[in-house]
Amino acid sequence: MKKIFYLIAVTALLLQACAKSEEPVAAGRTIVFQTASYSTKLGITGPQFPTSETFGVFSWTEGTTGPYFMNNEVVAYQADELWKTSTAYYWPLDRVVDFFCFYPAQMPEISVDKTKITYTALDVETSQLDVMYADKDVAFADHPESVPGSVSGYTGVPAIFRHALAKLSVDVVLAYDHKEEADGTVTDWSVSVNSVSLEGLYKKGNCELTLSDSPEIGLVPWVKPQGNVWTNDGSVMEAKNLISSPMTLTAGERVNAVPEFFVLPQALAAGQQKITLNVTIKTRRNGTDFLSETFDVSADLFVPGKLEAWQMNHSLTYRLSVNPTRSTGKDPSDPDKPVDPSDPDLKDARITFDPAVGGWDMMSVNAVINL
């Protein structure tokens, strides 16, 4: 009778340890995670996921009677300096497990199955979160050396995050503020940017990623949608001034006019996504005030052949270069007319953009928009 009681007790403990697996399978060590923001062929590398944040996880194994082994669990950095779920899960000893991690944890806009990730009606204007998804960990076990391409001695299931959105920022630089002409004329400019606004940016949309066909084990990437852009629903962000106070520019010094923010990855089109600046240019000729004008200038953020989309996992900076001109105040259509200081001609003033992509996925994009 004592032997029977002993067997019953051992079976009860085993069932309790594997309760989350929904099937009595032999269990090993606690499942923990290791985070990184991107991977290389050499393995896990890159900036670490912040320990103050949490992320979500789904997992599957042949032993689960339901759809998931881990069902939308939250993973947090804990006191023992390991990434864990709040309720302990244990490695099955006789089968492998697939994992999918994502950020932010338990976001309502995401749905997941074994081969597809779907984001639905995500509004970047209201959320402004760095939405990320990780490569799928396929057929992992409590034996790192059994997984091709894994890092020797890793301490947990690798969570290799990719950025699902794009980032956008705008810098401004005054190219020059002083010129001396061959005839001895000296021209100085004072330039200030009074407001910066963006309009026509699609803000809400859907995205579907499918699992790559190979490999059958290890870190498996997700295939992005065509063009690496989301499908938008046509709604746009509200156009508003993005600087708190006017900025007086100093020649050669680049200032950040629009701090980086998350945008929906989207195809760009002429006349759709625009930037508008209200600029004041004061001109002094030979030490005497000559003319001053405040005006709006707008430009498309679409650059044909250079920058035609804001793609997933791209960080974009539009570098705005302000180039004042030696305006004479004359009517360019009739230069023989007398100078009219009250009606200055600044139509030949130039502001150019040099959009560059970097930070996340590194690219070299050079383009100019003439305003």
Give phi and psi for 338, each to the nearest 5: -60, 155
Find the helix or strand (DSSP H, E) in which 126 lies: helix 124-127
Give the separation between CA 212 and CA 220, rounded to whole angstroms.
6
Q: What's the gap between Cα 274 and its chain centre?
A: 19
Closest alpha carbon to 308 in 264, 273, 256: 273
From 179, 221, 241, 236, select the one nearest 312 (Cα to Cα): 221
DSSP 8-state code for residue 308? -
pLDDT at residue 335 in the model: 57
Q: Find out whether 124 and 260 touch, Cβ atoms under 8 Å.
A: no
Domains and CATH numbers, the chain: 2-163 (2.60.40), 166-201+236-358 (2.60.40)
Within a 10 A sphere around the Cβ of 66, how many other Cβ atoms?
Answer: 9
Q: Nearest Cα to 134, choosing from 171, 104, 178, 175?
A: 104
H or E element, residue 6:
helix 2-17
| Residues facing residue 319 across a β-bridge | 171, 354
**Which DSSP symbol is given to 19?**
G
Q: Is 4 left (phi over 0), alpha (psi -120 to 50) or beta?
A: alpha
For residues 319 and 173, the answer to whether their CB atoms sit within 8 Å is yes
Integer CA distances (angstroms), 18 to 30, 31, 62, 76, 87, in order:
11, 12, 14, 21, 11
Contact call for residues 361 and 331 (beta carbons, < 8 A) = no
pLDDT by residue, tens only, the chain of 371 residues: 433 333 333 333 333 333 344 444 445 688 988 886 543 333 444 456 788 889 999 999 876 666 678 999 999 998 888 899 988 998 887 888 999 999 999 899 999 988 999 999 999 998 899 999 999 999 888 765 555 444 444 568 888 888 999 999 888 888 889 988 888 888 899 999 999 999 999 999 999 999 987 667 888 999 999 999 999 999 999 888 999 999 999 999 989 989 989 999 999 999 999 998 898 988 888 888 778 888 888 888 988 888 899 999 888 888 888 877 645 555 545 556 655 554 444 444 555 555 555 445 533 333 333 33
pLDDT at 109: 95
pLDDT value at position 5? 35
Model pLDDT, residue 353: 56
What does DSSP assign to residue 80?
T
Say if residue 215 is preceded by a cis peptide, omega within 30 of 0. yes
Question: CA triplet 58, 28, 141: central angle to 5 degrees?
Answer: 55
State the pLDDT at residue 9: 34
**Cα separation, 135 vs 160, whole angstroms:** 6
Q: Pick the closest to residue 131 from 140, 118, 141 (CA basis).
A: 118
**Parallel/antiparallel/unpaired status of strands 315-323 and 166-174:** parallel
* 5 sits in which H/E element: helix 2-17
Please tell me the predicted confidence (pLDDT) of residue 371: 30
Return d(Cα 30, Cα 88) in angstroms, integer: 6
Tokens of 1: 């009778």
Q: Which residue has the tokens 């085993």?
A: 14
Give 138's strand partners: 218
pLDDT of residue 81: 85
**Number of neighbours of residue 79 by Cβ within 10 angstroms:** 6
For 5, residues 6+ apart whose C-beta sits below 8 A from its C-beta are none
